[in-house]
Amino acid sequence: MIESDKVVEASRIICSSNWMLGFTGAGVSAESGISTFRDLDGLWNRYPEGASGGIMGILRRHPETAHELFSGMLNSIRNATPNPGHHALSELERMGYLKSIITQNGDNLHQDAGSSKVLELHGNAFRFRCLECTRKKHFSRDGLFYLVDDILSKMDHFSIEWIIPRLPSCKCGEPMRPDVVGFGEPVHNLEKASEATSRCDLMLIMGTSGVVYPAAMFPVLAKRNGAKLIEINPKESALTSKCDLFLPGKTGEILPMIVENIKEMNR
């Protein structure tokens, strides 16, 4: 049950902030139907001996699962659309309260909802990066699905050697790879996210377990710099004890209520 008094309190804190920063994790996308890595039926539990190395770790241990894994991830993204939480964040940006979003999600749903200031730590599934010159190319939803569907229709086994020649080519002639961050790879936008964190006086934390680093360090740094922390999550996370206010529940239900409260306060 949503606690209305906490919704009002969160709305007041947001109204009094000067520079609010959003911080989102997989739980926000889960409300759009994209399963998280650590769901009960997620990859972490289904393939524990390989999941510590991410998707590539699983494929190294279980190459026979490649078609199932890629098809499942593709269909999950294919059927996903921004939920009310995504749209509420976009509206908070248009209203001038939300200055930027740091996200661990690479599904482009924040941008699809209209958010324009998104710092993606783990890349974007709709973008490819050249292995040689690092030039990037963004694909449309239909373009990405056509590309991956075509590769999957021809896949009878998985290996890096088999898949690289079938990936898109860069203008320089070299192959491109999905611009997503694998386990052990450096995150994207670290400097920009650090700068945004140092500027914020309020961080809105949503849908994250708070255990994946270096992403989870940003709320800690914000708190250390004197910012207030508000968390919206169905259950407590590793960050909850550091927060000034915790609202149990889904972002897609609570954030629209916060937006409406702020509108009422401004009338």
Domain assignment present for residue 47? The answer is: no
Nearest to 140 by CA among 148, 130, 151: 148
Domain assignment present for residue 64? The answer is: no
Which amino acid, one-letter code, is at 63? P
Domain holding 24, by residue range, is: 1-34+82-122+187-267
Sequence-distant (6+) residues with CB within 8 A of 33 are 76, 79, 80
Tokens of 142: 């239909």
Domain assignment present for residue 238? The answer is: yes
pLDDT at site 245 = 98
pLDDT at site 60 = 61
d(CA 107, CA 239): 23
Q: Count the domains in the chain.
A: 1
Domain assignment present for residue 181? The answer is: no
Instruction: Report, as ranges of residue numbers, the positions in the chain whose pLDDT lies below 70.
Output: 36-73, 157-159, 183
- Using a cut of 0.95, tell me whether the model's pTM lies above it: no
CATH code of the domain containing 116: 3.40.50.1220
C-alpha to C-alpha distances, 148 to 43, 75, 174, nearest whole angstrom? 20, 11, 18
Cis peptide preceding 84, ω within 30 of 0: no
pLDDT at site 37 = 52
Nearest to 232 by CA among 217, 243, 221: 243
Question: CB of 119 within 8 A of CB of 100?
Answer: yes
Domain assignment present for residue 222? The answer is: yes
C-alpha to C-alpha distances, 131 to 36, 55, 149, 175, nearest whole angstrom? 28, 19, 22, 6
Domain assignment present for residue 166? The answer is: no
Domain assignment present for residue 154? The answer is: no
Angle between helices 84-94 and 251-265 (to 10 degrees): 30
Domain assignment present for residue 169? The answer is: no
Sequence-distant (6+) residues with CB within 8 A of 25 are 103, 104, 105, 206, 207, 208, 209, 210, 212, 215
| 6-48 confidence digits (pLDDT tens) | 999 999 999 999 999 999 999 999 999 887 655 444 444 454 4
Indicate which residue of 122, 138, 157, 188 is catalytic: 122
d(CA 62, CA 49): 10
pLDDT at site 1 = 76
Q: Is residue 122 among the annotated active site residues?
A: yes
